[in-house]
Structure 1
Amino acid sequence: MVFGGETVILMGPPASGKGTQAVSLAKEKGFVHISTGDLLRENVRQQTEIGKQVKEFMDAGKLVPEALVIELLKKRLEQDDAKTGVVLDGFPRTLTQAEELEKLLQSKPIVVSLEVPDEELIKRSTGRRSCSQCQQIYHIYFNPPKQEGICDQCQGALIHRSDDTEVVVKERLNVYREHTAPVLNYYRKQGVLHTIDGNRPPKVILEDIQSLLNL
Structure 2
Amino acid sequence: MVRIVLLGPPGVGKGTQAQFIADRYNIPQISIGNILRDAVHSGSKFGKKIKNFMDTGKLVTDELVIPLIQKFIKHKDCRRGFLIDGFPRTFFQAISMKQSNIIVDYVLEFKAPDSFIISRTAGRLIHPSSGRIYHTRFNPPKQRNKDDVTGEPLIIRNDDKELTIRKRLETYHQTAKLLIDYYHQEASNGYVKFFTINSTKSIEEVSTEVTSLLG
TM-score of the superposition, structure 1-length normalised? 0.72
Residue 102 of structure 1: which of 89, 98, 120 is its match?
A: 98
Q: Deviations over 1:32-86 (max 9, x none)?
A: 1001232345467789xxxx66336236x25654234222222211211111111
- In the alignment, structure 1 segments of 5+ residues that lack a partner are 131-135
3-state SS of paired residue (1:83): helix
Distance 1:68 1:213 in 2: 31
The equivalences for 1:1-215 within 5 A come to 6-42=2-38, 54-55=46-47, 57-58=49-50, 61=52, 64-105=60-101, 107-128=103-124, 139=135, 141-142=137-138, 168-191=164-187, 192-214=193-215
How many correspondences in the alignment? 197
- In the alignment, structure 2 segments of 5+ residues that lack a partner are 54-58, 127-131, 188-192
- Kept in 2: contact 1:10–1:87 (CA 8 A): yes
Identity %: 33
| 1:178 CA displacement | 0.9
Amino acid in structure 2 at the alignment position of 1:82: C
Bigger radius of gyration among the two: 1
Amino acid in structure 1 at the alignment position of 2:202: P
Distance 1:164 1:201 in 2: 20
TM-score of the superposition, structure 2-length normalised? 0.72
| 1:152 CA displacement | 7.1
Provide the aligned C-alpha RMSD in A: 3.7
Which piece of structure 1 moves more, 66-75 or 110-119? Answer: 66-75
- Kept in 1: contact 2:40–2:48 (CA 8 A): no
| 1:94 CA displacement | 1.0
Which piece of structure 1 moves more, 165-174 or 194-203? Answer: 165-174
Distance 1:171 1:40 in 2: 18
Distance 1:46 1:166 in 2: 25
Q: Deviations over 1:173-207 (max 9, x none)?
A: 22111111211111011113210111112222122
